[in-house]
């Protein structure tokens, strides 16, 4: 189990990234985030997704240190927040995140949102960190195809990952193909649509009964079978374990197609073309 959960995809630069990680957005700094991360690592998770903006990097770092799992076996992601975009400010933001995490590197550093007029300079800072060997992989988040087209015009290094909202109501087929063609790994945020609607959907219940799994497990398995890394959030120990238990069954081509048909291009989070933060 642990081994399967720890197994992952090889990013364009050869770094291995686990297929499944724990998301910690809205998880409170201190005891709550420490408990969630500890529970996840005990359950076999080897990847944690945080961000400067989540305000819980210290707790993530503490739980990672206290887990007893060697740092080299874990994959930690954090992100540069919008207010810190720009070359010098992004470099400074990285140092600040490392300090809070109590780490000397992170595995993946992402541009959190494509802030207009800023993200190219920010990308230069991430390239510098990468070239200096300070971070194992760099990427972006919430980038549409046109943002990537624009970034790639000037980039020396291609983003290794694009983390976007992705679930059966927003299956992002075109972006997924675009990223695949360019060796950019897609990663799903809000894979469970923030716990709304999909978990009670008749199709999910039907497939859950068929595979003796839960609706959440069906959705997360759909991510992985589509070649998308996934990072469900939970602070509930049973759910943290449940969400990871997706490596012992397979959805059929027909199951996959039926889930694909739920797409409505519908978001629960902001559209990257129209955000005001």
Beta bridge partners of 140: 111, 162
The helix/strand/coil state of 98 is helix
Q: Are 272 and 143 in contact (CB under 8 A)?
A: yes
Q: Does 255 sit near ligand NDP (CB under 6 A)?
A: no
Q: Does 80 sit near ligand NDP (CB under 6 A)?
A: no
Q: Does 62 sit near ligand NDP (CB under 6 A)?
A: no
Q: Are 172 and 198 in contact (CB under 8 A)?
A: no
Q: Do the strands 185-189 and 161-165 form a parallel or antiparallel pair, or are they unpaired?
A: parallel
Instruction: Please identify, using beta-carbon distances, which residue of 224 and 231 lies nearer to ligand NDP.
Output: 231
Q: Which residues are catalytic?
A: 54
Q: Does 32 sit near ligand NDP (CB under 6 A)?
A: no
Instruction: Please identify, using beta-carbon distances, which residue of 91 and 161 lies nearer to ligand NDP.
Output: 161
Q: Does 177 sit near ligand NDP (CB under 6 A)?
A: no
Q: Does 159 sit near ligand NDP (CB under 6 A)?
A: no
Convert residues 208-247 into a mask of x (bound to ligand NDP by CB under 6 A) and - (unbound): --------x--------------xxxxxx--x--xx----
| Strand spans (E) along 101-235 | 106-111, 135-141, 161-165, 185-189, 229-230
CB neighbours of residue 28 within 10 Å: 15
Q: Is the alpha carbon torsion for 19, 226, 11, 189 positive or negative? A: negative
Q: Does 18 sit near ligand NDP (CB under 6 A)?
A: no
| Min CB(5)–ligand NDP separation in Å | 15
How far apart CA 82 and CA 25 sit, in angstroms, is 16
Indicate the residue whose CB is closest to ligand NDP.
Answer: 23
| Min CB(191)–ligand NDP separation in Å | 5
Q: Tell me which DSSP letter residue 20 carries.
A: B
Q: Write out the residues near ligand NDP by the rule CB under 6 A.
A: 23-25, 49, 112, 141-142, 163, 189-195, 199, 216, 231-236, 239, 242-243, 269
């Amino acid at each position: 189990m642990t081994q399967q959960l720890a197994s992952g995809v090889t990013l364009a630069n050869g770094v291995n990234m686990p297929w499944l990680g724990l998301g910690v957005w809205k998880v409170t700094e201190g005891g709550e985030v420490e408990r969630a991360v500890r529970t996840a690592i005990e359950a076999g998770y080897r990847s944690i997704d945080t961000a400067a903006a989540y305000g819980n990097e210290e707790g993530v770092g503490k739980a990672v240190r206290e887990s007893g799992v060697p740092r080299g076996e874990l994959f930690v992601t954090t992100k540069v927040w919008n207010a810190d975009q720009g070359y010098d400010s992004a470099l400074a933001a990285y140092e600040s995140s490392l300090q809070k995490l109590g780490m000397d590197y992170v595995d993946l550093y992402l541009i959190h949102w494509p802030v207009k007029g800023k993200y190219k300079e920010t990308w230069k800072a991430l390239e510098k960190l990468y070239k200096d060997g300070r971070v194992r992989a760099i990427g972006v988040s919430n980038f549409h195809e046109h943002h990537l087209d624009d970034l790639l015009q000037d980039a020396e290094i291609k983003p290794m990952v694009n983390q976007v909202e992705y679930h059966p109501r927003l299956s992002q087929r075109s972006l997924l193909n675009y990223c695949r063609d360019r060796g950019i790994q897609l990663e799903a945020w809000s894979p469970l649509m923030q716990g709304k609607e999909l978990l009670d959907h008749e199709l999910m219940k039907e497939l859950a009964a068929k595979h003796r799994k839960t609706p959440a497990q069906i959705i997360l398995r759909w991510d992985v079978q589509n070649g998308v890394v996934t990072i469900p959030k939970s602070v509930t120990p049973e759910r943290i374990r449940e969400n990871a238990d997706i490596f012992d069954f397979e959805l059929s081509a027909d199951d996959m197609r039926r889930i694909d048909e739920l797409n409505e291009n519908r978001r629960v989070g902001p559209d990257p073309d129209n955000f005001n933060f």
